[in-house]
Amino acid sequence: MKQMILITVLLIGYVRPEFIPGCSFYNGQCSYTVQLGHQGQCNLPTTAQNPSDFPTTVQPPTTCCTNLQTDIADLRSLVAGLTNDLKLLKDNYNVLENETNELNTTTSNKDDLLQLLQTKEAEFNKTHDQIAAVLQQASAEIHRLRDELVATTRQLNNCRGTLGLQSGTATVAPVLDASINMTFCDFQTSSESCGFNTNRKTGYSWKSHSGSINSLTGPIEDHTYGSQKGVYMYMDTDNSPYGDHVIRTYRMESNLISPAAAVCVRFWYNMNGKDIRTLNIYAKIGNGDGYPVWTQSGNQGQRWSLGEVSLDSEYTASHFKIVVEGTTDSYHTSYNHYNEHGDIAFDDFYIYNTSCNSE
Ligand SMILES: *[C@@H]1O[C@H](CO)[C@@H](O)[C@H](O)[C@H]1NC(C)=O
Ligand SMILES: *[C@@H]1O[C@H](CO)[C@@H](O)[C@H](O)[C@H]1NC(C)=O
Ligand SMILES: *[C@@H]1O[C@H](CO)[C@@H](O)[C@H](O)[C@H]1NC(C)=O
Ligand SMILES: *[C@@H]1O[C@H](CO)[C@@H](O)[C@H](O)[C@H]1NC(C)=O
Ligand SMILES: *[C@@H]1O[C@H](CO)[C@@H](O)[C@H](O)[C@H]1NC(C)=O
């Protein structure tokens, strides 16, 4: 720049060899024109080339340019400071924006997670329901198979009965698992062969019988073979006390049953007759009957029904007996037997050393 001015001056032939640009003073004011070189200096009227340019009476302050430059420097540093502040603000803004973005991301992540959690919960619920359904199906299927097995066993027994293949021992074992010990009594020979004790010293006991008793009480045939020749146990209420309307109890007790984690007791019963009261099954430990573990009351019609009860270790931890107890309040008058219809019958007694559900 300085050289350019120099060249221009030389070309037009106007020579001002000591031109020092800077501020000029008019009316005591410093008029800033061109500032080239001479940092921090101000031209004084005495050193100016053409003193007539300035009113000599007014002495301008020697520091004005310095002040100006200081002001400019101050302004520059202010601007620099502001620029810096602006940068900081911008950075802060960016940080804030990033944080907002992160927050938005986190929020949407949270929503996604909640959504996922709900989906998983729904899946879990579905699986849970499916498992429950499968279990229920399996359980129903097991029950169906067991009923089928019992029915098949009965058919087989009928077949044996028809063929005259009588058996006093348990030969037909409706059991699904070979590791399960099952004892079975069809009462074909005598109650004693199954270990049932019917020799009560006091009170009434059960007897064995074949065929029907009469049209108003008892079954028409046994359960094992479904035959008039097949044998079952029953409560004989013929010769009930005269005119006595008191409940009488008929009992028989099994042999001792071996301890097991659980025991399933299964039997067929027939409760046909208007004077029938209750059939109770007890698990007798020592000399105590305790409460019945199974009970059925009232006239159930002429069909045989399956009764079963699972006994847990409360009963089966040590040796115990099964007690079969029927009650009736039948009585007779001298004119007819109308009030002697209390003959409960009992047949096909099974004991498994496992609970009924797992057998
Ligand atoms: C903001 O986030 C972007 C990308 O996520 C990153 O490149 C940038 O450095 C972040 N800025 C600040 C100020 O944290
Ligand atoms: C954050 O989410 C809100 C609501 O969805 C939206 O209005 C805002 O623009 C988002 N901010 C950023 C930085 O994405
Ligand atoms: C899952 O099952 C529970 C309990 O039945 C219920 O409270 C919940 O709303 C179910 N969840 C879904 C997602 O269906
Ligand atoms: C049942 O008895 C049999 C024969 O004593 C035995 O092998 C089996 O382990 C018993 N099962 C159970 C479930 O107690
Ligand atoms: C099977 O159970 C009966 C009755 O509890 C028991 O008398 C018999 O000893 C058991 N048999 C075996 C092999 O455990």
Question: Quick check: 119 pLDDT over 80?
Answer: yes
Percent of the chain with pLDDT over 70: 72
DSSP symbol at 189: S
Q: Where are the domains of the chain?
A: 166-352
The residue whose CA is least distant from atom 10 of ligand 4 is 180
- The bound ligand whose nearest atom lies closest to the alpha carbon of 353 is 4
How confident is the model at residue 9, as a pLDDT?
35
Q: How confident is the model over 284-341, as pLDDT tens digits?
A: 999 999 999 999 999 999 999 999 999 999 999 999 999 999 999 988 877 665 678 9
Nearest C-alpha neighbor of 323 from the set 256, 276, 253, 273: 253
Question: Quick check: 276 pLDDT over 90?
Answer: yes
CA distance linking residue 263 with residue 316, whole number of Å: 7
Q: Which of 156-160, 174-178, 256-260 has the lowest mean pLDDT?
A: 174-178
Q: How confident is the model over 61-85, as pLDDT tens digits?
A: 555 566 777 777 888 888 888 888 8
DSSP 277-325: EEEEEEEEBTTB--S-SEEEES---SS-EEEEEEE-HHHHSS-BEEEEE
For residues 13-27, average pLDDT:
47
**Any atom of ligand 2 within 6 Å of the Cβ of 98:** no
How confident is the model at residue 305, as a pLDDT?
92
The residue whose CA is least distant from atom 12 of ligand 1 is 95
Helix (H) / strand (E) containing 350: strand 344-352
Closest-lying ligand 3 atom to the alpha carbon of residue 124: 1
CB within 8 A of 44, min separation 6: which ones?
Answer: 60, 62
What spacing in Å lies between the alpha carbon of 96 and ligand 2's midpoint?
12
Q: Burial of 11 by CB count in 10 Å (0-12 exposed, 13-18 middle, 19+ buried)?
A: exposed
CA distance linking residue 306 with residue 300, whole number of Å: 12
Name the residue with higher pLDDT: 209 or 31.
209
The residue whose CA is least distant from atom 13 of ligand 1 is 95
What spacing in Å lies between the alpha carbon of 191 and ligand 3's midpoint?
57
For residues 267-291, average pLDDT:
95
- The bound ligand whose nearest atom lies closest to the alpha carbon of 319 is 5
For residues 93-122, average pLDDT:
89
Question: Quick check: 171 pLDDT over 90?
Answer: no
- The bound ligand whose nearest atom lies closest to the alpha carbon of 179 is 4
CA distance linking residue 117 with residue 171, whole number of Å: 58
Helix and strand numbers, DSSP H then E, in the chain:
3, 13
CA angle 266/269/354 to nearest 5° reads: 5
Residue type, 119: T
Closest-lying ligand 5 atom to the alpha carbon of residue 353: 2
Query: How long is the chain?
Result: 359
The residue whose CA is least distant from atom 2 of ligand 3 is 125
Q: Does CATH number 2.60.120.200 belong to domain 166-352?
A: yes
Question: Quick check: 137 pLDDT over 70?
Answer: yes
The residue whose CA is least distant from atom 13 of ligand 3 is 122
**Any atom of ligand 2 within 6 Å of the Cβ of 101:** yes
Q: How confident is the model over 185-235, as pLDDT tens digits?
A: 889 886 656 788 887 777 888 999 999 998 899 999 999 888 888 899 999
How confident is the model at residue 265, as a pLDDT?
94
SS3 7: helix
Residue type, 285: I
Q: How confident is the model over 338-354, as pLDDT tens digits?
A: 678 999 999 999 999 98
CA distance linking residue 33 with residue 148, whole number of Å: 121
What spacing in Å lies between the alpha carbon of 92 and ligand 1's midpoint?
11
**Any atom of ligand 1 within 6 Å of the Cβ of 98:** yes
Residue type, 309: V
The residue whose CA is least distant from atom 4 of ligand 1 is 98
The residue whose CA is least distant from atom 14 of ligand 3 is 122
Residue 204 contacts residue 251 (beta carbons within 8 Å): yes
**Any atom of ligand 1 within 6 Å of the Cβ of 94:** yes
327: left (phi over 0), alpha (psi -120 to 50) or beta: beta
How confident is the model at residue 64, as a pLDDT?
58
Percent of the chain with pLDDT over 90: 33
What spacing in Å lies between the alpha carbon of 112 and ligand 3's midpoint?
18
How confident is the model at residue 283, as a pLDDT?
97
What spacing in Å lies between the alpha carbon of 126 and ligand 3's midpoint?
9
Helix (H) / strand (E) containing 95: helix 64-162
- The bound ligand whose nearest atom lies closest to the alpha carbon of 183 is 5
The residue whose CA is least distant from atom 14 of ligand 1 is 95
